[in-house]
Structure 1
Amino acid sequence: MARALLIVLDSVGCGAAEDAGAYGDAGSDTLGHIAQACAEGRGDREGLRSGPLNLPNLFRLGLAHACEASTGRPLAGVAKPAQPQGRWGYGVEVSQGKDTPSGHWEIAGCPVSFRWGYFTALENSFPAELVAGIVKEGSLPGILGNRHASGVAIIDELAAEHIRTGKPICYTSVDSVLQIAAHEEHFGLDRLYALCRTVRTLVDPLRIGRVIARPFTGSPEEGFTRTGNRKDFAIPPPQETILDRLAALARPIVTVGKIGDIFAHRATGVEIKPFGNAAMVEAALEAWDGLPDGGFCFVNLVDFDTEFGHRRDVPGYAAALEAFDRLVPHLEAALRPGDIAVITADHGNDPTWPGTDHTREHVPILAFGPGIPRTPLGRRESFADIAASLGIWLGIGPVGPGRHW
């Protein structure tokens, strides 16, 4: 019986979507602009990387072809192979928004038809009654922040005051999120998680997609660092996903990274959450090695987004892509006859774009495995085509409104 491995390269978009202008993202292109920067030397960093974007394995599977099909432009400095060795195409998001839950849910067969709630005011972002509820229900002396901010910057700015006062740092962005940063030792990690669970219930009526715990450590003297103990508290998908279908049929499921958080831990099977892209790929391969026939492994690699996209770090993003590319042969070697692997993304986060937020983009779709035909996938009118296709592959029938390959 077939198995399926689905890897989401968080934020690795491949060109602005047709409706990107409505999100302020017309002209964004995560992979295209990274390649351009690398070709021009702006992707160089001493001791890290230099030269044109070097992704020989992903290009061999069709990534450069997918990018060019999406934008109509070749990737700068890249010589794409004449005949890709995988099935390649790109997906168009039909869900509203450009955040992680909508992208992942649609990939899993559940496009988002409702409008997310947002905190649009740049300052004093949260309604007064919500702030009062957070303070009361969380037994807090108050909150800090209450504005749109970069997580790294606002922690650097307010961490010392947070330690002194015991007030957590609350902030948001253009995405449907409320993020709470607190020191793991001075505030307490378990206390932070409990606070986020409380706030999750308070923002449910506002249709806020995620409450995110952002723990950090450090001191004013030595500086502060976010840790790998981030936890997302998301609303559950409103309809069936491929995970639900598989769980109902008692199929083996392994989820790696923040997949469990994104799907509110519903039908997410055995959850594995190491820290860092390399560790997550290693954990996925170890789980895959023991995954029975008919099993499904769903992986999110978040570093592209959190460590490099939001921080607008072009050399770091390019180096992370190249590091993942070196792992692709290990993924291919782990596939046996009947298996399929799909590499895709959930949105963009163009590190050359103004601001620090996600960008509304198409996403690449690469499918490969022993005996997989090398015909193009073309333009897919919904990310949900992935769930429909994997459902057919796994013998459970198409899931969601997508069209299977």
Structure 2
Amino acid sequence: MTRAFLIVLDSVGIGGAPDAAAFGDTGSDTVGHIADACAAGRGDNAERNGPLRLPNLCRLGLGSASEASTGRLPPGLARAPSDTAWGYASETSNGKDTPSGHWELCGVPVSFDWGYFPVTRPCFPRDLMEQLVEAENLPGWLGDRHESGTVIIQELGEEHIRTGKPIVYTSADSVLQIAAHEEHFGLERLLALCETARALVDPLNIGRVIARPFVGETPHTFKRTANRRDYSVLPPEPTLLRRHADRGGQVISVGKIGDIFAHDGTGREVKAPDNDAMFDLMLAETRTAGEHALIVVNFVDFDVHYGHRRDPAGYAAALEHFDRRLPEFEALLGPGDLAIITADHGCDPTWPGSDHTRENVPVLTLGGARPAGPVGHLSSFSDVGQTLARHLGITDMPHGRAFARTA
């Protein structure tokens, strides 16, 4: 079969991008700093201990790509065999957010500037919040600042339950996030609120509105649920997904891909609550996907549970678990298949703050149709999309260059 797979390990960056200084991220290195923490004994928890162990990802080139990106081989990682088709890519889009990274990976870099909310208290325009309150008959709102989602829910969750006021906050990304209790406030009410907010922030060019439902009754028991929903704007041009769907090709979106692409060209969408269940779904879809299918997967736990929460030990355990399962996926690939494992940005768990980091990303290829050797430094994530497009017989992608071996 001639099938294409794009597997995004959300936030698994491998060192500061060439323009990291413009984002305040010079020196960031998600994989490298996790490896450092593990080597120094700061990566131990109930699930793992000792140096970072990623033999399968390193066999595909993760260690070599990290070394090429940063100039050093992270402790515990190994170089790939000389004929392995690995590379690394730099982003050209103007943001280090999830939609920008995914869209560029699928051939559509973001050349415009997103709108952002200032790092002030309050951070949202007063008229915006008053319109939201009036439209949804709210008693008011809480938060109104830049903050980590888990922190602000712990701080304001009880007041939210008592008053019925939703928690509204943002980050360094172009985003407005609304947290509310699934039972006391209501999940459907939260989703309707976010749909209203999506329309209200369109004139501000805000990339995403995110519904952040949670459960629990006290700060110690509050927990965000898997019912998160992202409301993104449409990509500015047809992506790889849209172009393949328009040709009658089968598109399967696993995880939050549908939300990221505003459900444009995303075909059949399937979701799961965590990385392990997502891996099971990916295997199931791989077993049944037909000729010329395009399967796009996002493994979000790396970013949401460990990167933003600045948990290098948890991040290391999640990477090692993915690595152990990787041969299950490889065994299902045929001689005509091409799979690319990559990332959309970094989220260095040792970096100050709780935001994404501007980093290069690994480009690891699998399947019988992979190149015969290293592919080098890709100057745009769009090279990934162009390569997958060429593999599927799509010839009209306007951005990126299909890669081939460089040595």
Q: TM-score range by the shorter chain?
A: over 0.9
Cα deviations by residue, 1:216-268 (Å, 9 ceiling, x for unpaired): 00102862110000000000101010011111011111001110000001110
**Counterpart Cα distance in 2 of 1:329 and 1:400:** 34
What residue in structure 2 maps to residue 72 of structure 1?
A: 71
The CA distance in 2 between the partners of 1:155 and 1:64, in whole Å, is 37
Q: Tell me which residue corresponds to 2:105.
A: 107
- Indicate the residue corresponding to 2:350 in structure 1: 352
Q: Which residue is equivalent to 1:116?
A: 114
2:222, 2:398 → 1: CA distance?
Answer: 43
Equivalent residues of 1:387, 1:398 under 8 A apart:
no
Q: Which runs of 4+ in 1 moved over 4 A?
A: none
Q: Aligned runs of 1:35-74 on 2, under 5 Å? A: 35-45=35-45, 47-74=46-73
Please give the alpha-carbon distance, in whole angstroms, between the structure 2 residues aligned to 1:201 and 1:403. Answer: 36
Letter in 1 for 2:76: G
Number of equivalenced pairs? 403
The one-letter code matched in structure 1 to 2:101 is G
- How big is the shift at 1:145? 0.3
Residues 1:317 and 2:326 are matched in the alignment = no
Alignment of 1:4-403 (within 5 A): 4-45=4-45, 47-83=46-82, 86-220=84-218, 223-370=221-368, 372-397=370-395, 399-403=397-401
Percent identical across equivalent pairs? 59
Measure the CA separation in 2 of the matches of 1:270 and 1:179.
Answer: 26
Q: Which amino acid aligns with 2:250?
A: P
Query: What residue identity is the alignment partner of 1:293?
Result: E
Q: Tell me which amino acid in the other structure corresponds to 2:261.
A: F
Cα 1:221–1:20, aligned 2, differ >3 Å: closer, same or farther? closer
Contact 1:390 1:398 in 2 (8 A): no
Specify the code of the residue in structure 1 equivalent to 2:62.
Answer: L
In the TM superposition, residue 121 of structure 1 has moved relative to its aligned partner by 2.5
Give the 3 Å change call, closer, same or farther, for CA 175–368 of structure 1 in structure 2: same
Q: Which digits, 9 at most, give the CA deviation of each residue in 1:63-83, with x for residues without a partner?
A: 100011111111123332443
Q: Deviations over 1:79-125 (max 9, x none)?
A: 324436x4100001000010000000000000001000000223101
SS state at 1:145 partner: strand
- In structure 1, give the amino acid aligned to 2:64: H
Listed as ranges, the gaps of 5+ residues in structure 1 are none
Structure 1 range deviating more: 394-403 or 26-35: 394-403
Question: What CA deviation, in whole Å up to 9, does each residue of 1:327-385 have, x standing for no partner?
Answer: 11011001012011110000000000000000000000001112533310100000000
1:16 and 1:29 in contact (8 A); partners too: yes
Q: Distance in 2 between matches of 1:278 and 1:48?
A: 15
Q: Distance in 1 between matches of 2:220 and 2:35?
A: 35
- For 2:285 and 2:189, the matched residues in 1 are separated by 31
The alpha carbon displacement at 1:281 in A equals 1.1
For residue 284 of structure 1, report the CA deviation from its aligned partner: 1.3
- Name the CA distance, whole Å, in 2 between partners of 1:221 and 1:273: 28
d(CA) in 2 for partners of 1:364 and 1:222?
A: 37
* Contact persistence 2:108–2:239 (CA under 8 A): yes
Structure 2 stretches of 5 or more lacking a match? none
- Identify if the C-alpha distance between structure 1 residues 311 and 134 changes in structure 2 by more than 3 Å, giving closer, same or farther: same
More off after superposition, 68-77 vs 89-98: 68-77
Check whether the contact 1:15–1:71 (CA below 8 A) recurs between aligned residues: yes
Asked whether the 8 Å contact 2:154–2:220 carries over to 1, the reply is no
Task: Tell me the distance in 1 between the aligned counterparts of 2:120 and 2:309.
Answer: 19
Are 2:198 and 2:231, in contact at CA under 8 Å, matched by a contact in 1?
yes
Counterpart Cα distance in 1 of 2:178 and 2:293: 35
Rounded to whole Å, the distance in 2 between the matches of 1:181 and 1:48 is 30
Root-mean-square deviation (CA), in Å?
1.1
How far apart are the structure 1 equivalents of 2:78 and 2:386? 32
Instruction: Supply the AA of the counterpart residue of 1:350.
Output: D
Partner amino acid, structure 2, of 1:59: C
Whether the 8 Å contact between 1:39 and 1:77 is mirrored in structure 2 is yes
Task: Find the aligned partners of 2:122 and 2:26 in 1 and give their Cα distance.
Answer: 28
The CA distance in 2 between the partners of 1:371 and 1:298, in whole Å, is 17
Query: Kindly tell me: are residues 371 and 145 of structure 1, through their superposed partners in 2, closer, same or farther at Cα, counting changes over 3 Å?
Result: closer
**Whole-Å Cα distance in 1 between the matches of residues 263 and 29 of structure 2?**
32
Q: Could you tell me which amino acid in structure 1 is paired with residue 202 of structure 2?
A: D
